[in-house]
Amino acid sequence: MIVDQKKYAFYALITLAFLALTLQLANLQIFERRKYLRHSQRNRIRSIIVQPKRGTIFDRNGVVLVENMPSYSVSAIPYESAKDDSLFYHIAGILRQDVHEIQNKIQSARGPFTPIKLARDVEFSALIRIEEQKLDFPGILFDVEPKRHYPAGVRAPHLFGYIGEISQSELRIKGNDGLQKGDIIGKKGLEKIYDRTLRGKAGYAYHEVDALGRVVRDLDIGEESHPVSGNDLYLALDGKLQKQAEEMFDQKNGGVVLLDVRNGGVLVDCSKPDYDPFIFSGTLEMDAWRELINDPDKPLYDRMIQSTFPPGSTFKLVLATAALQNKAVNLTEKTVCNGYVRLGNRIFNCWKKDGHGAVDFMEAIKRSCNVYFYRLMPRVGVDAWAAYAQDFGFGKVTGIDLANESSGNQPNREYLDQIYGKNGWSTGMLYNMAIGQGDVLVTPLQMAQLAMIIANKGRYYQPHVLDRTYNAESKRTIPFQPVGKSTELVSEEAYDVIRKAMLSVVNEEGGTGRASWLRDVLVAGKTGTAQNPHGESHAWFIGFAPFDKPQVAVCVFVENGGGGGAVAAPLAGEMLKAYFRQKDTLTAAL
């Protein structure tokens, strides 16, 4: 009886065991089939991100300025590569990296099956070694990524910017933009501003692998996603003129901005000193980075939109316009310049030590007489002067499609009271600001915009580098829509007088801008020499041409260059000559 009970208990136990196995089998095969199928597929099928082609950047004439060239990268699939610690040491030796750095990268992966970048810009010889030992390196992959190339020889690093691997902080900000660790994004300049346009959308390729991680075959499954190439950018920039400007300013600190006054397009934006943008295309060496950031000439800084300087006598145009509009000046009334003005115990000098003699309004602008404008400032007053300066866009950014633009500094009564106290600022300060010294700070781009405003008699456009985008797949072109603006305080009659005075600066005997004169094109302009307490004066020239039907506005700035008439004006003349010579050549060709 006891034996029978043991036998039945044993049969019951066996039955329950088989029942449990059957239920578990049913659970695995039926109820949780999809879950484990996904796990199986992950082990069998490897998904690889396929990077899209980054858009090409062209100049206004279709010349390629920035394009892609192949660069090799090495990645690891954590689930497969982490099984053997010795693999890290072998790969580190081939890639010439620290083994702990590689381990940290793999441990920071988003998931066990998501490839993580180990190295970029890998030498081809290293790839050959990895391929030769493929069986010893499970989960190690290599891929081709875009690397930026500059075939036209135009450097313009401040304009183009550069690309690089997305950082953790950028990933937190852009995480909802379809980006992930290891992706390449624009870091500076146009590459950053138009990153989403240029970047495109990544796709996926699927490979079947065996137990050793070797690719058996490529799979064409329904989930496959093809990469979408980025859009191309066509700039307002003229590559040939830009290259010439870069050559003109070689060994100089400063630059030139050339604007199309008919739409605000940036034809030239040259800032010197600069750096070779190609050094950011691959893996940037730490020594090269330290050299850049420690260079006393600050080549990373865009002097055309980021740096601010006193504008010198070019800013006399602001006071002159305010005086005209407020009827604070009589055009025929003359002021005697003996070379200086005495204010209490202080002496305020004219740039011409022996003076200009008796000068009227037009002569004062043509010869850039400081004394005349010293006398004019109290008649206009700080409030009116500041209001017209702000109307011309000073003290605020132009809105150009580049990052980190500076607004400069445009003093007004509130500013002076805040900085110096209500009774702490004097007439002497106003004298300095009248001739573009003291607390007045501007960017060269703002001065080019002033020249555009005067050229168009108050109508102007927000400066922009982009002209249009192009999608190669849809063959669709999207033009950039210029933002039109206008000044509110200045009449056309006042602009006519200012323009005529600027014409005399370049085209009449005694004008300070004679060095910018052209034989076949009427140029109007204004020179400036801004005193610099840290060294040689800064040289300025702003202008526009042709006088009757303006096409371009120019600003030339030479840091520590000396006199505006002697240094900046001839450079502006060369830039304008190159523009009109090229324009005539293109017209003849058509």
Q: Are strands 232-235 and 57-58 parallel, antiparallel or unpaired?
A: parallel
| pLDDT on residue 246 | 97
Which stretch of DSSP H or E encloses residue 343? strand 340-343
Left if phi > 0, otherwise alpha if psi is -120 to 50, otherwise beta: which for 527? beta
| pLDDT on residue 589 | 43
Rounded Cα gap, residues 408 and 185, in angstroms: 30
3-state SS, 505-534, equals: HHHCCCCCCHHHCCCCCCCEEEEEEECCCC
Which stretch of DSSP H or E encloses residue 28? none
| Domain at 46-235: CATH code | 3.90.1310.10
- The CA-atom distances, in angstroms, between 312 and each of 215, 318, 519, 523, 572 are 69, 11, 28, 20, 17
**C-alpha dihedral (158, 239, 248, 253), degrees to nearest 10:** -10
Residue 165 β-bridge partners: 184
How far is residue 308 CA from its own chain's centroid? 17
| Helical residues (DSSP H) of 392-484, grouped into ranges | 413-420, 427-434, 444-455
Q: Which CATH number fits domain 239-283+304-589: 3.40.710.10, 1.10.10.10, 3.40.50.1950, 3.30.230.10?
A: 3.40.710.10
| Helical residues (DSSP H) of 334-423, grouped into ranges | 361-367, 370-380, 382-391, 413-420
Contact assessment for residue 179 and residue 158, using Cβ atoms and an 8 Å cutoff: no
**C-alpha dihedral (233, 239, 241, 244), degrees to nearest 10:** 140
Rounded Cα gap, residues 363 and 111, in angstroms: 75
**What are φ and ψ of residue 352, in 5° steps?**
-95, 110
| pLDDT on residue 1 | 55
Contact assessment for residue 238 and residue 60, using Cβ atoms and an 8 Å cutoff: yes
Look up residue 126 and give its two tokens. Answer: 């290293």
Contact assessment for residue 378 and residue 371, using Cβ atoms and an 8 Å cutoff: no
Residue 360 has, within 13 A of its CA and on its CB side, a CA count of 8
Q: Are strands 552-558 and 538-545 parallel, antiparallel or unpaired?
A: antiparallel
| pLDDT on residue 586 | 47
Look up residue 46 and give its two tokens. Answer: 């490897």
Residue 545 β-bridge partners: 552
| pLDDT on residue 110 | 65
Quote the DSSP letter at residue 354: T
Quote the DSSP letter at residue 54: P
pLDDT digits (tens), the chain, 590 positions: 565 666 667 777 787 777 777 776 666 566 666 655 455 545 556 666 677 889 999 999 999 999 998 888 888 877 776 666 677 777 878 888 887 887 787 777 766 767 777 887 787 788 888 777 777 777 787 777 778 999 999 999 999 999 888 888 888 876 667 787 778 899 999 999 999 999 988 777 666 665 555 555 656 655 457 788 999 999 999 999 999 999 999 999 999 999 999 999 999 999 999 988 888 876 666 777 788 888 898 999 999 999 999 999 999 999 999 999 999 999 999 999 999 999 989 999 999 999 999 999 999 999 999 999 999 999 999 999 999 999 999 999 999 999 999 999 999 999 999 999 998 999 999 999 999 999 999 999 999 999 999 999 999 999 999 999 999 888 999 999 999 999 999 999 999 999 999 999 999 999 999 999 999 999 999 999 999 877 899 999 999 999 999 999 999 999 999 999 999 999 999 999 999 998 775 455 43
3-class DSSP state for residue 371? helix
| pLDDT on residue 2 | 61
Contact assessment for residue 272 and residue 303, using Cβ atoms and an 8 Å cutoff: yes
Length of the chain, in residues? 590
- The CA-atom distances, in angstroms, between 214 and each of 207, 208, 235, 317, 379 are 9, 8, 46, 73, 85
**Where along the chain do its domains lie?**
46-235, 239-283+304-589
- To 5 degrees, how large is the angle CA 308–CA 427–CA 329? 90
| pLDDT on residue 210 | 58
Which stretch of DSSP H or E encloses residue 239? helix 239-248
Rounded Cα gap, residues 73 and 180, in angstroms: 16
